[in-house]
Amino acid sequence: MPAPQDVSKHYTQGNLTAAISAGVRSLGKTINSVSVDDLAPVDEFHIGGRQATVDLLDQLGLSTKNHVLDVGCGLGGAARFSATRYQCRVTGIDLTDEYVETGRVLCGWVGLGDRVSLHQGSALSMPFADGAFDGAYMLHVGMNVEDKTTLCAEVSRVLRSGAMFGIYDVMRTGDGELTYPVHWAETDAASAVREPEHYKEALRAAGFVIVRERNRRDFAIAFFEQLRATAAASGGPPPLGLHILMGKTTPIKVKNMIENVSTGRVSPVELIARKA
């Protein structure tokens, strides 16, 4: 079972703001000219990156009147995208101090500090009022959270009735031992990957109705192959990319994920639910 302190330690790099700033300069930009789109390759830390975010969030019916919750917000990339695309207000929460601190800096760079608020804390016990949000989403979070029943109940608590909740997680879709390390865990003991039905049971217990489900295996394989092809063609990683977050083990983590997904052991899966 992954412990919260171990999850936070796994994701902490120690120099993220400096590394991202250096990447911005390599793009020929400054912190005053960089855009939300420029940052997407590094701050959308999930399979499929920005496209996966668009595909999930476009199903939630978000609008300028909404206050939306980003569960496990990481650096806040999806939150900044949501605030830009849907003109909504977004609050994010994440366990990892460095992610939240860096995310706040990035919000300042792109002028979104007034519409995106990032907080350090646990999604199992959030410091938000009942019914505070008009919608919620989480992207690649549940693989680090063993207690999905409490997770879904807590999200339900802070959502108003009728609000949509979108999940995009790597889920167990077949038999066989996973190959580690992967981007969310170094070993099986640190992983909380579960089947879609496990999520659906937790959602139903929390008062949600399942609206849609989609397995994105083919999308994931294409994404990872593109990552490898781009790195090979350019002789190395781009100025801004997921290698900044995954570190020196990025190639082996990508290789292992391609193996795990292509063999059908796991797949990224979308679940769209509505609070009844």
User: What are 250's two structure tokens?
Assistant: 């990025």
Cα three-residue angle 224-229-235, rounded to 5 degrees: 125
What are the pLDDT digits (tens) for 155-205? 999 999 999 999 999 999 999 999 999 999 999 999 999 999 999 999 999
> Contact 150/203 with Cβ under 8 angstroms?
no
What are the pLDDT digits (tens) for 217-233? 999 999 988 888 887 88
Cα three-residue angle 30-33-37, rounded to 5 degrees: 105
Exposure string for 208-233, b = 16+ CB within 10 A, e = fewer: beeeeeeebbebbbebbeebeeebee
Residue type, 141: V
Architecture of domain 4-275 in this structure: 3-Layer(aba) Sandwich (3.40)
Helices 148-158, 196-205: axis angle to 10 degrees equals 40
Q: Which residues on adjacent β-strands are paired with residue 3?
A: none
> Contact 69/139 with Cβ under 8 angstroms?
no
pTM for this model (two decimals) = 0.96
> Contact 174/21 with Cβ under 8 angstroms?
no
Annotated domain spans of the chain? 4-275
Measure Cα distances from 193 to 79, 197, 233 in Å. Answer: 24, 12, 33
User: What are 56's two structure tokens?
Assistant: 């999930």
pLDDT, one tens digit for every residue, the chain (276 residues): 789 999 999 999 999 999 999 999 999 999 999 999 999 999 999 999 999 999 999 999 999 999 999 999 999 999 999 999 999 999 999 999 999 999 999 999 999 999 999 999 999 999 999 999 999 999 999 999 999 999 999 999 999 999 999 999 999 999 999 999 999 999 999 999 999 999 999 999 999 999 999 999 999 999 988 888 887 888 888 999 999 999 999 999 999 999 999 999 999 999 999 999
Cα three-residue angle 35-249-96, rounded to 5 degrees: 55
Distance CA 166, CA 130 (A): 19
